[in-house]
Amino acid sequence: MTATATPRVGWARCAAAVTGLLAVPALAAGCASQEPTDDSSGNGGSTDAGAASETAAPAVDPACPEGLTAQDLSQTVDYPAADVDGDGKDDSISIGTVDGGNAACAAALVVTTAEGTAAAALPDLQIVPPRAFVPGGAAMVGSDSVIAAPVSFSPRGGGAIGLFTLVDGVLTPVKDGSGEAWTIFATIDDGGGIPQSIDCGPGGLTHVQVLADSLSGSFTVHEVSYSLDGTKLAKTDASSSTMTPRDPTRDGAGSGHGLSIFENC
């Protein structure tokens, strides 16, 4: 059952309030098509099909109850179906609290494929937020399907969003250059929080944050680009730019807030 609670203040998408005003290239960049190609030389589609056939069966995190499936979740939130395991068929993606789970598996990210269930424990996710708060889901980055999902959440302040990818049947956190799980923190408060996005960029992902200076009326756009190699994100570029809106009242800049995930993938 999909969560239906209506939040008082949401992580509304920042595209309408920010993208049109600032014209951030990263928010407009799309991912390259990931449709399989037919290549008689043995490259492309035929290679991918062979790799998919050798993929290990989906596995449930040992911290979670054995045989966990999406039906064992409560406070369930379903994200749009996507081909996570690379077999050409859409898989269902859900998060929720784990009925019968312990502190090590208070909640879980669950992907249901044709071969079975892959699940990752989310021990810091004590409350599962509705999709209105965290518009997560999956996107193809290069040849890998990456899932964005909350890994912690508090209705008083916000939470962290992490990335996962399926490796040998195991849902594995995507790590940064230090080897730690890569996450961003998004806030919810009466001030609206920081508009930001995780999106597709040339050869990888981009993370964009927009910070407003209420005194000058200007906005600083911080953009970081990453390449993805398996389960590791490597920073490839970073930039900051400052600009002033023509008409803050009309554009809504400064009052816009929220989080955008994979809007242009």
Reported as a single tens digit per residue, the pLDDT across 55-80 is 689 999 999 999 999 999 999 999 99
Reported as a single tens digit per residue, the pLDDT across 14-39 is 333 333 333 333 333 333 333 333 44
Mean pLDDT, residues 152-170 taken together? 91
Check if the beta carbon of residue 49 is closer than 8 Å to that of residue 220. Answer: no
Mean pLDDT, residues 148-169 taken together? 91
Residue 156 has pLDDT above 50, yes or no: yes
Mean pLDDT of the chain: 77
Reported as a single tens digit per residue, the pLDDT across 100-132 is 889 999 999 999 999 999 999 999 998 998 887
Residue, of 188 and 152, whose pLDDT is higher = 152
Reading the block at residue 248, the tokens are: 């803050």
Reported as a single tens digit per residue, the pLDDT across 175-207 is 998 999 999 988 765 344 568 899 998 879 999
One DSSP character per residue, the chain reads: ----PPPSS----SIIIIIHHH--HHHH--PPP------TTS-THHHHHHHHHTPPPP-B-TTSPTT--GGGEEEEEEEEEE--SSSSS-EEEEEEEETT--GGGSEEEEEEETTEEEEEE-TT-SSPPPTTT---EEEEETTEEEEEEES--BTTTEEEEEEEEEETTEEEE-B-TTSSBPEEEEE-STT----EEEEEETTEEEEEEEEEETTTTEEEEEEEEEEEETTEEEEEEEEEEEE--S-HHHHTTTT---EEESTT-
